[in-house]
Amino acid sequence: MQPGEWPELPLDSWKDTYATLHMWTQIVGKTRLALAPRENHWWNVTQYVTSRGLTTSPIPTEGRTFTVDFDFVSHTLAVSTSDGRNAALPLTPRTVAEFYGVYLELLGSLDLDVRIWPVPVEVEGWIPFAEDRVHQSYDAESAARAFQVLVHADRVLKRFRARFLGKASPVHFFWGSFDLAATRFSGRRAPVHPGGAPNLGNWVMQEAYSHECSSAGFWPGGGVIPEPVFYSYAYPEPKGFRDIVLQPEGTRYSPELGEFVLPYAVIRASHSPDETLLSFLQTTYAAAAYLGKWDRQALERPPDEWP
């Protein structure tokens, strides 16, 4: 892989590692969920892209803080505390059940007493972590490639986020759905969300979508979308949104997801991947904001001031 390259990431090539990593990131994410003060839209539970992987950022507990970091360069999971203690475990093929047990022992070795809800969310056919001996794959090269895709997506999403003056989320990784996302808000309350995500209370979705939003990000794919994609959607979806023809070429509306999607392969094939992705992000947002009657003059930075 050349420096700066948008690597290949066909879903079939790493689907087993992806499924295992999904469960591992949920276990770590639930650590932050258990301890961090609740914030709007569940921003208190997310993870963030770093120069080496994913981090929880500092988690408070009993007068200390600690971070949990996936390092997809050295392939380790590291825990660091604010009083100078460290512990780590290698990322190697192992069952979710084994990872769960070893991870809790690792936290205990640092006197971190954490009780997490021990079941996955937002997945069909879920298995409690302590009983999951089905998912046990970890291919280091595939994990490194997936991480490089997140690095690129994170970088471009931050450029896009900087164009907005209104309330906007950080660019963050949601471990429930295993996607990297950035969300903009109109400032108005939204209709109560109907919920419906697998093994997730409707009240969780209602908090996440309490206000009108336009959200975009990267998802490795799955189910009806058998390839990695960038996506963009609005809640509530304004009338006519799904019928608009948008740029770049290859953008389509997925009725199954209720989102516009752009195959990652289109980005890789572009002579200017960053600008192609920005075009997708900008045009899908503009359609949502225009049809949703957002106060765009107040919420958006003028194009001549874009970073």
Which helix (H) or strand (E) is 234 found in, with range? strand 229-235
Answer yes or no: are the C-beta atoms of 36 and 20 closer than 8 Å: no
Phi then psi for 168, rounded to 5 degrees?
-145, 145
Which of 84, 107, 131 lies at the terminal end of a domain, its last residue?
Answer: 131
- The answer to whether residues 117 and 194 belong to one domain is no
How many domains in the chain? 2
Tokens of 163: 């164009």
- The answer to whether residues 116 and 263 belong to one domain is no
Which of 92, 113, 131 lies at the terminal end of a domain, its last residue?
Answer: 131
Phi-psi region of 195 (alpha: psi -120 to 50; beta: other; left: phi over 0): left
Residue 30 belongs to some domain of the structure? yes
Task: Quote the domain boundaries for residue 166.
Answer: 140-305
Amino acid in position 199 = N
Residue 189 belongs to some domain of the structure? yes
- The answer to whether residues 148 and 276 belong to one domain is yes
pTM recorded for the entire structure: 0.97
- The answer to whether residues 168 and 197 belong to one domain is yes
- The answer to whether residues 154 and 271 belong to one domain is yes
Residue 114 belongs to some domain of the structure? yes
- The answer to whether residues 124 and 151 belong to one domain is no
Answer yes or no: are the C-beta atoms of 287 and 241 closer than 8 Å: yes
Work out the angle at residue 13's Cα, subtended by the Cα atoms of residues 90 and 277, and round it to the nearest 5 degrees.
95
Give the whole-angstrom CA distance, residue 65 versus residue 203: 29
pLDDT at 4: 76
Residue 4 belongs to some domain of the structure? no
Q: What is the pLDDT along the chain (307 residues), one digit of tens a residue?
A: 666 789 999 999 999 999 999 999 999 999 999 999 999 999 999 999 999 999 999 999 999 999 999 999 999 999 999 999 999 999 999 999 999 999 999 999 999 999 999 999 999 999 999 999 999 999 999 999 999 999 999 999 999 999 999 999 999 999 999 999 999 999 999 999 999 999 999 999 999 999 999 999 999 999 999 999 999 999 999 999 999 999 999 999 999 999 999 999 999 999 999 999 999 999 999 999 999 999 999 999 999 998 7
- The answer to whether residues 86 and 172 belong to one domain is no
Residue 146 belongs to some domain of the structure? yes
SS in 3 state form for 161-190? HCCECCCECCCEEECCCCEEEEEEEEEEEC
- The answer to whether residues 71 and 116 belong to one domain is yes
Q: Which of 263, 216, 261 is nearest to 235 (CA)?
A: 216
DSSP three-state, residue 146 = helix
Which of 101, 131, 161 lies at the terminal end of a domain, its last residue?
Answer: 131
- The answer to whether residues 89 and 209 belong to one domain is no
